Amino acid sequence: MVIVNSIKVVDNIDAAMDKRVEENIILDNIARIRNIGFIAHIDAGKTTTTERVLYLSGKIQRIGEVDEGTATMDWMIQEKERGITITSAVTTCYWEDKQINIIDTPGHIDFTIEVERSLRVLDGAIVIFCGVNGVEAQSETVWMQANKYNVPRIAFINKMDREEADFYNVVKQIEEKLSANPLIVTLPYYEDGRFCGVIDLIKMKLFVWDVYDNEGGKKYVILEIPTEYKDKVIEYRSKLLEKLSDIEDSIVEYYLKGEDIKESVIINTVRKGTMSGKLIPVLCGSALKNIGIQPLLSSIVWYLPSPLDRGEIIATSSSTKEEVIISPWDIDKNKFCGLVFKLQNFPYIGKLYFLRIYSGCLKSGQVVENSSNLRKWRITKMYRLHANYREEIREAYSGDIVGVIGPKDTYTGDTLCDDSYSVMLEPIYTHYRCNAGVVSLGIEPKSKADIEKLFSSLETIKDEDPTFSYRIDEETNQIVLSGMGELHLEIIVDRLRREFNVGISVGEPQVAYKETITEKTVGESAFEKCISGKSHYAYVKLEILPLDRDRGVEIINLFSDTDVPPLYLQAVTRGVKNGLEKGIRAGFQIIDVKVNIIEVRWKEKDTSELSFEIAASLAVKDAVSKVAASSIILEPIMKLDIISPKEYIGDIMSDLNTRNGKILHIEDKMERSWLTALVPLRTVFGYATILRSLSKGRAIYTLEPYGHDRVREELENKLLEMYV
Ligand code: GDP
Ligand code: MG
């Protein structure tokens, strides 16, 4: 007996050891993951840089070019034609035995939701700056977004091959305009006035690329630093060490002792400073000429955090509503939880959910729960993502980004988790979401056959894109699309026609006016009806309060009955949203209100989600109709940033004056003027053409939603005449 027992014990030890070894291997693999994204102002070179990264890491055999419409990551036909990135694509490559999951994000503000949702799931970002234009309007926007999510960053100053590029000036702008602490890691190196390499201040070596090489930057040599650069290198190396000594005391000690500091110590200190957000390593290169990409790749894996470094996050238990700590170190199947940050429809395979796993293990075939509606789904397939290609995988662990198929009724921002571990991660929030739609566009299906196809296609697009919405205008019988800008809707119309093959005629883009109430109001509705032999009953009472501008819509349950099934609560929320879709004053969407649900009633057998939805929607109508007379109309205000040669700025400003523009800031730098203004959207439709003629095509601008403001009286009267 004793012998048998002891054998058993040894067996168990072996099993336990095996498990430990296996766990360590898994954790080691997680430590090798880098979830990163490239973010920047439009045209700074994100897609071009990503192509080089994929090529040089061996992921693709040929470099795709944005200008030729062959970039791997811009795979939608609309992206290829316009040479811009619209949807963020995910792909994976490997460098120095690390797995890099890359999310390429678009720069155009119309697609800002893509940036916001990417930043939410990334662990680190590479901010690309144009070596000529430096910190541009949208560089600031994405920088602030990255601050919001505490994403550690590396800066890459691109386009150093352009004659006007000024590396040191861009570094200064990063420091001054973004209030960041740049740590210069590579300096630009020129031969006969031509940019052809970088000097690495950590390795203290010169990297020179063969500019005649047609192998996409694979060929480079590592040389000693040339004498003419010695002074500059000494100056910037001491600056680097000085900044590092603020991070790590041992650097000061080396310094004081006059000892050489080991490369590994420097790298670890840069890593520590970057991960804490105290330092921004700055590198330079030219993506187009394939210069400086390998050092960038190494910096990504050395300095940016792994999911384990990013550490724990806080979620909420779906049942008790208490805080739950989610740890990336948990790798058990029953600790699985992940955030859906995007979904997209693909021909043949259907809805693909992009998932960032925060803890546990997900296996193909596993049943998961959507914690926002407690529905359960089986994961039927799981993929590693490569832009629009996919590779099927069987399991994935905490920290990874994968695509899954199987769930339904699941949307961006939902949490999927093991059904024994019902937790809810913080949803993806964007302030654009609550006021979605500053531009609207009326469309009509061409034939009867197109009608059905149109609605299913619009639903598909709406699922993918939370900043897009549509409604049917009962008076005109038109379908009104609303989105973030003219380009946003143009792309949607194009997709409807080409991807979904729907025949539609399209009107002119319009300003999406909104309305809101100015005083508190209460409404109620009891819905009671017999539909196909089944009786439906629901009662909803609510109050609506005005909120400050651009606070969106808040819906809160004030009643104490905790027995209301979650599906009915969701139906009430849907009903409230439907009710707010069309205001009573002028028929515009109602925003900036808080809706408190005071009471709901139902009869056990005689109710349905539909009856709650209708009752809630009618209760909203009841409430707002009581205060219609004091309701006001709001219009979207845009933030306009212009960079123009100085000689045109006078004309641009007087033109803005005629458009009710309010100039917030103007500054001259080098040969250009930088201007920021607020303008009502209605006055800047088609601004591209106007600015082109004002500046002989030399000024550039970005326009992004800023907020809403009450329309002036004359306009209000005109709108009431037109719409009521
Ligand atoms: P994105 O909008 O940030 O994705 O920028 P793209 O990668 O699409 O690049 C915008 C334009 O800049 C394209 O015409 C590129 O060919 C060009 N470009 C990108 N990188 C460089 C570079 O290093 N040097 C030069 N001269 N042009 C570049
Ligand atoms: Mg791009």
Q: pLDDT for 300-322, tens place per residue?
A: 999 999 999 999 999 988 888 88
Q: Is 162 in the pocket of ligand 1 (CB under 6 A)?
A: yes
Ligand closest to Cα of 39 equals 1
CA pair distance 272, 35, nearest whole angstrom: 17
Q: pLDDT band for position 2 (50/70/90)?
A: very low
Residues 588-605 have pLDDT tens digits of 899 999 999 999 998 878
Nearest atom of ligand 1 to the alpha carbon of 107 = 2
CA distance 156 to 300: 11
pLDDT at 6: 43
pLDDT of residue 582: 87
Residue with tokens 């003419």: 228
Residue 159 Cβ inside 6 Å of ligand 1? The answer reads yes
Q: What is the pLDDT of residues 325-342, one digit of tens each?
A: 999 999 998 999 999 988
Residues 6+ apart with CB under 8 A from 211: 194, 196, 289, 291
Q: Which ligand lies nearest the alpha carbon of 292?
A: 1
Give residue 7's pLDDT: 46
**Which helix (H) or strand (E) covers residue 667, if one does?**
strand 662-669
> Residue 162 CA: which ligand 1 atom is closest?
26
Question: For atom 6 of ligand 1, which residue has the closest CA?
Answer: 45
Ligand 1 contact, 60 CB (< 6 A)? no
pLDDT of residue 76: 62
Question: Is the predicted pLDDT of residue 447 greater than 50, yes or no?
Answer: yes
Ligand 2 mean position, distance from CA 144 (Å): 20
Q: Is the CB of 117 inside a 6 Å radius of any atom of ligand 1?
A: no
Does ligand 1 come within 6 angstroms of the Cβ of 245?
Answer: no
Residue 552 reports pLDDT greater than 70:
yes
Report the separation in Å between the CA atom of 132 and the middle of ligand 1, taken as the mean of its atom positions.
Answer: 12
Give the model's confidence band at 613: pLDDT under 50 very low, under 70 low, under 90 confident, else very high.
very high
Give residue 47 CA to ligand 2 midpoint distance, Å.
Answer: 4
Percent of the chain with pLDDT over 70: 90
Task: Return the residue whose CA atom lies nearest to atom 22 of ligand 1.
Answer: 159
**Distance from Cα 45 to the centre of ligand 2, integer Å:** 7
- How far is ligand 2, taken at its centre, from the CA of residue 283, in Å? 20
Average pLDDT, the chain: 87
| H-assigned helices in 435-532 | 448-464, 486-498
Predicted confidence at residue 72, as pLDDT, reads 63
Ligand lying closest to the C-alpha of residue 69? 1
Distance 47 CA to ligand 1 centre (A): 7
**Digit-coded pLDDT (tens) for 134-176:** 998 778 878 887 887 889 999 999 999 999 999 999 999 999 9
Residue 77 has a pLDDT of 66
Q: Is the CB of 67 under 6 A from ligand 1?
A: yes
Find the farthest-apart pair of alpha carbons in the chain and give their distance in angstroms, rounded. 99
Would the CB of 66 count as within 6 Å of ligand 1? Answer: yes
The answer to whether residue 540 scores a pLDDT higher than 60 is yes
48 CB within 6 A, ligand 1: yes
Question: For residue range 458-481, what is the model confidence (pLDDT) as tens digits?
Answer: 998 888 777 788 988 777 788 999
Q: How confident is the model at residue 112 (pLDDT cuts 50, 70, 90)?
A: low
Q: 280 and 182 in contact (C-beta within 8 Å)?
A: yes
The residue-averaged pLDDT of 653-658 equals: 96
Name the closest ligand to CA 50: 1
Going by C-alpha positions, the residue among 101, 50, 280 that lies closest to residue 182 is 280
Average pLDDT of the residues in 360-373 = 92
Please work out whether the CB of residue 118 comes within 6 Å of at least one atom of ligand 1.
no
Q: State which amino acid sits at residue 44.
A: A
Q: From ligand 2's centre to the CA of 230, what distance in Å?
A: 37
**pLDDT at residue 114, rounded to an integer:** 64
What's the rounded mean pLDDT across residues 617-634? 95
Number of H helices, E strands in the chain: 19, 38
Cα 49 to ligand 1 centroid, rounded to whole Å: 8
Which mutation among 41, 42, 43 tests ligand 1's pocket best, with the greatest number of atoms within 8 A of CB? 43
Q: Closest Cα to atom 28, ligand 1: which residue?
A: 288
Verify whether ligand 1 is closer than 6 Å to residue 188 (CB atom).
no
Residue 1's pLDDT is what?
38
String of DSSP letters for 699-724: -EEEEEEEEEEEPPHHHHHHHHHHH-
Higher pLDDT, 525 or 75: 525
- pLDDT tens string 656-669: 999 999 999 998 87
Q: How far is the CA of 48 from the centre of ligand 1 (A)?
A: 6
The reply to whether ligand 1 has any atom less than 6 angstroms from the CB of 39 is: no
Partners of residue 175 on adjacent β-strands = none
Choice between 457 and 349, residue whose per-residue pLDDT is larger: 457
Higher pLDDT, 618 or 509: 618
366 Cβ contact list (under 8 Å, min separation 6) = 333, 336, 378, 379, 418
Look at 205-209, 529-533, 572-576 and tell me which has the smallest mean pLDDT: 529-533
Question: Would you say the CB of residue 47 lies under 6 angstroms from ligand 1?
Answer: yes
DSSP-derived pairing of the beta strands 632-645 and 700-710: antiparallel
pLDDT band at 121 (very low <50, low <70, confident <90, very high): confident
pLDDT at 724 over 80: no
Atom of ligand 1 nearest to the CA of 85: 4
**Region 103-122: what's the mean pLDDT?**
68
Report pLDDT for 68.
67
Output the pLDDT for position 434. 42
Is the pLDDT at 249 greater than 60? The verdict is yes
pLDDT surpassing 90 at residue 186: yes
Nearest ligand to residue 42 Cα: 1
pLDDT at 3 over 50: no
Number of CB atoms found within 10 A of residue 431's CB: 12
Q: Where does residue 102 rank: exposed (0-12), middle (13-18), buried (19+ CB within 10 A)? A: buried
Percent of the residues in the chain that have a pLDDT greater than 90, as a whole number: 50
What is the per-residue pLDDT for 435? 47
Report residue 134 CA to chain centroid gap: 22
Give the ligand 1 atom nearest the CA of 51: 7
Q: Which ligand lies nearest to the CA atom of residue 79 in the structure?
A: 2
- State the virtual CA torsion across 171, 173, 176, 178 in degrees, nearest 10: -90
Q: Which of 41, 48, 50 to mutate to test the pocket of ligand 1 (most atoms within 8 A of CB)?
A: 48
Which bound ligand lies closest to the C-alpha atom of 127?
A: 1
